[in-house]
Chain A
């Protein structure tokens, strides 16, 4: 069993990203560290928001995801199909919350560490080709993010089939992959918890300022990897 744990850690390469292995190989997840301080994205996003968002919201998704996975494990062991099916919505919501937030933290960077710096290289060219310019991509993504009803996300993704960049929105914590063969390059959280303490009801202002701390370098790396 110890061997199995060791092997899956190694092969999955997740040892450092907070993956833990519990009894009988059941994986549980823990909160990944932020690659910057809570206050480092100010004034675009306040330290208070970042701390609550990371320590409370993301942590809660992880806690409930682990709970649901454990219940799933037991339900599968017992061959209880209706329990397995019933768990799907909790897994999608909480697992999606974990997936999305893990991407989101990497999508942001303090201005002094390159946050907001326009994408160079292949992604920069692809944006010009598919959207005309970075400005028009930003405008379109901001508009679509502002129009999301209730809670959700707006994404810049790479369509693996057409090799084109696409802008999509997902409801609640649905990850981008629920829409098709799309790789998320940049996700912006438009849940109220992502901006309310600072921007209150004015979501468009949040969507205007967040571009000052977008980590295009990370998005470019994912793009290069997927296009390679």
Chain B
């Protein structure tokens, strides 16, 4: 049942909610995967701009825990403004035919963000936030997700405490996240001497303003928006009450489970890809250092025939 839900949910999530693999390391430049939302109009192929996706449920579906009014402003004004401003900023820049994930990573610019970063990341974060909730959410996560949470945080309650605390103590505006951390050493010549399955784990992180964990190369699984606009109309200054309500009544553990499945698959694919590249590299180095004898013989043959 859960597996089926995860499988059906996995595909749509996979399209938009994870960074395309292999983005890092393609230093040679703009080999980004193009977004799939190009449409043909007559002879011209018009690349659609980023669109404000409607939330996956009606605006009043999270009442009374998140009011329709909050939703109308949060999605209808704030999220919309991020998307509109992003579209204005990237028009004609070459960023406008990348995926949103890639725009976030490229505009983060290794910690020296370009102007479009805030809008790109906030557009991404809000899409991810709406899908982190559902009417009748909350409760406990299913099967494997719960096991991993218990493995990595000690117990579900300890996880909840850590997540709530991260959300409550984010100074100013920002986000708290549950992420899947594949924990690879990402430094040129560094290597994890004893890699194991335990390297891959669930971690709680928080981020200021628009920043999201894609830039740290984590796989986001769950987020809560702790900008004041996310809760002020419903909870005013009582951020801790908003956070508790989110955890108890709104979290969509199905979405989190589905994202975990995708994250694990992505991480595995990436490992295989990296292992393949490493092997290729080694073979190339070996060939460079030890030119095949046939080449020498060939030269020798040629000289003899001359």
B16 contacts partner chain A, Cβ-Cβ < 8 Å: no
B174 contacts partner chain A, Cβ-Cβ < 8 Å: yes
Q: How many whole Å from A64's CB to the nearest CB in chain B?
A: 10
Q: Among B104-112, B188-196, B231-239, which stretch is in contact with chain A?
A: B231-239
Tell me whether A52 and B236 are in contact in the complex, defined as CB-CB below 8 angstroms, given that A149-B118, A200-B73, A201-B78 are known contacts.
yes
Q: Report the separation of the CA atoms of residues A134 and B209 in the bound assembly, to the nearest whole angstrom.
A: 32
Tell me whether A193 and B173 are in contact in the complex, defined as CB-CB below 8 angstroms, given that A149-B118, A149-B209, A150-B208 are known contacts.
no
Chain B contact residue count (CB 8 A cutoff): 19
* B232:A192 contact, CB within 8 angstroms: yes
Q: Report the separation of the CA atoms of residues A60 and B174 in the bound assembly, to the nearest whole angstrom.
A: 19
Q: Report the separation of the CA atoms of residues A202 and B193 in the bound assembly, to the nearest whole angstrom.
A: 53
Q: Report the separation of the CA atoms of residues A191 and B210 in the bound assembly, to the nearest whole angstrom.
A: 15
Q: Report the separation of the CA atoms of residues A193 and B173 in the bound assembly, to the nearest whole angstrom.
A: 11
* A192:B210 contact, CB within 8 angstroms: no
Q: How many whole Å from A91's CB to the nearest CB in chain B?
A: 12
* A172:B228 contact, CB within 8 angstroms: no
* A52:B210 contact, CB within 8 angstroms: no
CB-defined contacts of A200 to chain B, threshold 8 Å: 73, 77
Tell me whether A172 and B171 are in contact in the complex, defined as CB-CB below 8 angstroms, given that A57-B237, A60-B237, A149-B210 are known contacts.
yes
Of all chain B residues, the one with the shortest Cβ separation from A193 is B228
* B228:A173 contact, CB within 8 angstroms: no
Chain A contact residue count (CB 8 A cutoff): 20
* A150:B174 contact, CB within 8 angstroms: yes
Q: 1/0 per residue A156-183: CB within 8 Å of B?
A: 0000000000000001110000000000
Q: Report the separation of the CA atoms of residues A193 and B237 in the bound assembly, to the nearest whole angstrom.
A: 8
Q: Looking at the complex, which one of A151, A173, A192, A201 makes contact with B81 (CB distance below 8 Å)?
A: A201
Q: How many whole Å from A1's CB to the nearest CB in chain B?
A: 35
Q: 1/0 per residue B197-237: CB within 8 Å of A?
A: 00000000000111000000000000000011100110011
Of all chain A residues, the one with the shortest Cβ separation from B113 is A149
B172 contacts partner chain A, Cβ-Cβ < 8 Å: yes
The A-contacting residues of B in range 152-206, CB under 8 angstroms, are: 171-174
CB-defined contacts of B171 to chain A, threshold 8 Å: 89, 93, 172-173
Q: Report the separation of the CA atoms of residues A172 and B169 in the bound assembly, to the nearest whole angstrom.
A: 13
CB-defined contacts of A52 to chain B, threshold 8 Å: 236-237
CB-defined contacts of B73 to chain A, threshold 8 Å: 200-201
Q: Report the separation of the CA atoms of residues A192 and B78 in the bound assembly, to the nearest whole angstrom.
A: 12
Give 9 pairs: A residue, B residue, CB < 8 Å, sorted on A. A52-B236, A52-B237, A149-B209, A150-B208, A151-B228, A152-B172, A172-B171, A192-B229, A193-B228
Q: Which 4 A-B pairs have the closest CB atoms?
A: A150-B173, A172-B172, A192-B228, A150-B209
B contact set with A: CB distance below 8 Å: 73, 77-78, 81, 118, 171-174, 208-210, 227-229, 232-233, 236-237
A contact set with B: CB distance below 8 Å: 52, 56-57, 60, 89, 93, 149-152, 171-173, 191-193, 196-197, 200-201
Given A192-B228, A201-B73, 7 more contacts at CB 8 Å? A93-B172, A149-B118, A150-B210, A172-B172, A193-B236, A196-B232, A201-B77
